[in-house]
Structure 1
Amino acid sequence: MAALAPRNAGQEGLSRSGFYRATRQGRYERIARGIYVSADAPAADWDWLEAATRRPEATICLTSALAQYDLTDVIPSALDIAIPRGVRIPAGGSAIAWHSFDRATFLLGREEIPIPGGDLTIGLYSQERTIADAFRLRGELGYELARDALREWLRRGGKPGRLMEIASRLPRSKAPVLQALDALS
């Protein structure tokens, strides 16, 4: 299942007016402004679909990634998505919080995962990258979130060497991660 925009209706063999007619008949369902899916499509996370459709380089980060890895009890109020700095942040009223990350480190710890129920993929930062980012942005997220995620990650057998390798390549994260590792040891 791919998300579809009216401008791409030709991919489904429909004209734009034919696409809108099919939508009124219930064959397509609107998930966000300008983004539709087939009404019989399997269940999927619409925010993930919207982010991946609006920006192919979209990457789940920060609190949303910690929740994805079950490293926090915090339920994010919006899907945290990273895009490279300098890329236009999409307009929309959805529950997506767009974050601009430095292009030089954007791909560090990034992997592609399939969106359940669809044929699209979305980026997800590794556990180590996500924890390092939480420490790096602790002023925004809160120190407790980063510390608790680190504690849970270590309890599950996380390797501090791998975390420090990532943290040393990200600005403003090596020192706080090292301090937290010392405090938790």
Structure 2
Amino acid sequence: MGGDRGQARERLRELPPVFSYRMAIDAGIAKSKLYRLRDEGFIETVGRGRFRVTDAELPPDLELHEIAQRAPEATICLVSALSRHDLTDQIPAAIDIAIPRGRRRPVIEAPVAWHSFDPETFDIGHTELELDEETVIGLYGPERSIIDAFRLRHLEGHELAVEALKRWLRRPGSSPAALLAMARDFPKARPALQTALEILL
């Protein structure tokens, strides 16, 4: 019995700092052993169906870990993405997360503002943010985030989009031509974006 528990402990230490119930089961740890280790204090619950080894350091982006584990296609977008790229000083009350239209929105504890994006353009400008050695979450790059700010300016306001564009233009290597080329796939954004560029340049 003790040997089994020891093996379970070693397997848990091989998982990411915060892991889900499903990840533990997939690692070969029986439900009864998982909850026994919790009752013994070896692991602790950090959210609905999520755990960590008690002496393991909590990751800085705990909420993003939960989102990444519950929604593998989740991608940080809009104000949250602009903030990550230092293109706005706004701090959103909830994390802006895009998923392809038609996908189920998981129930999670983190404060999330869900956005459904067209599956055909979902991967344009898509990058990844590494949370730890084993966990990544989608993140739209600066150009795509600016395009989305113009495309969805009725949600966040025209000022957000223009300010992000101004900051981006001040950066070495920023290419308005490349930005407009990406915007071709977003007809709702391109006219307003082109007008703003003509004013600012």
TM-score by length of 2: 0.84
Say whether the 8 Å CA contact 1:31–1:50 is kept in structure 2: no
Q: For the aligned residues, what is the CA RMSD? A: 1.7
In structure 2, what is the Cα distance between the partners aligned to 1:98 and 1:164?
26
CA distance 1:168–1:41, change in 2 (3 Å) = farther
Q: What's the offset of the Cα at 1:118?
A: 4.7
Deviation at 1:13? 4.4
SS at 2:91 equivalent: coil
Q: 1:152 matched to which residue of 2?
A: 167
Residues 95 and 87 of structure 1, relative CA distance in 2, 3 Å threshold: same
Residue of structure 1 aligned with 2:56, choices 22, 41, 44? 41
* CA deviation vs aligned residue, 1:21-45 (integer Å, no higher than 9, x gap): 2223333333332222333333321
CA drift of 1:168 comes to 1.3
Residue in structure 1 matched with residue 157 of structure 2 by the alignment: 142
Quick check: 1:42–1:118 contact (8 Å CA) kept in 2?
no
Q: List alignment gaps of at least 5 residues for structure 2.
A: 1-14
2:126 aligned partner: 110
Cα displacement string for residues 90-129 of structure 1 (whole angstroms, at most 9, x for unaligned residues): 12342121111000000001012311x4521111111000
Aligned identity (percent) is 45
Q: Structure 1 CA distance, aligned partners of 2:159 and 2:47?
A: 34
Task: Give a deviation string over 1:134-160, Cα, whole Å, max 9, x none.
Answer: 000001011111111100000113211
Question: Using the alignment, how far apart are the partners of 1:7 and 1:43 within structure 2?
Answer: 19
Q: Structure 1 stretch 102-111 or stretch 40-49: which is displaced more?
A: 40-49
d(CA) in 1 for partners of 2:72, 2:87: 26
Distance 2:165 2:74 in 1: 24
8 Å contact kept, 1:47–1:96: no
Taking the aligned partners of 1:171 and 1:154, their CA distance within structure 2 comes to 21
Which deviates more, 30-39 or 133-142? 30-39
Structure 2 CA distance for aligned equivalents of residues 25 and 180 of structure 1? 60
CA distance in 2, matches of 1:97, 1:62: 10
| Equivalent in 53, 66, 74 of residue 82 of structure 2 | 66
Task: State the SS of the aligned residue for 1:90.
Answer: coil
TM-score by length of 1: 0.91
Give ranges in structure 1 of 5+ residues lacking alignment: none
Higher relative contact order (CA 8 A, sep 6+): 1
Instruction: Give the number of aligned pairs.
Output: 184
Distance 1:108 1:81 in 2: 15
Aligned partners of 1:51 and 1:58 also within 8 Å: yes
Give how far 1:70 is off: 0.7
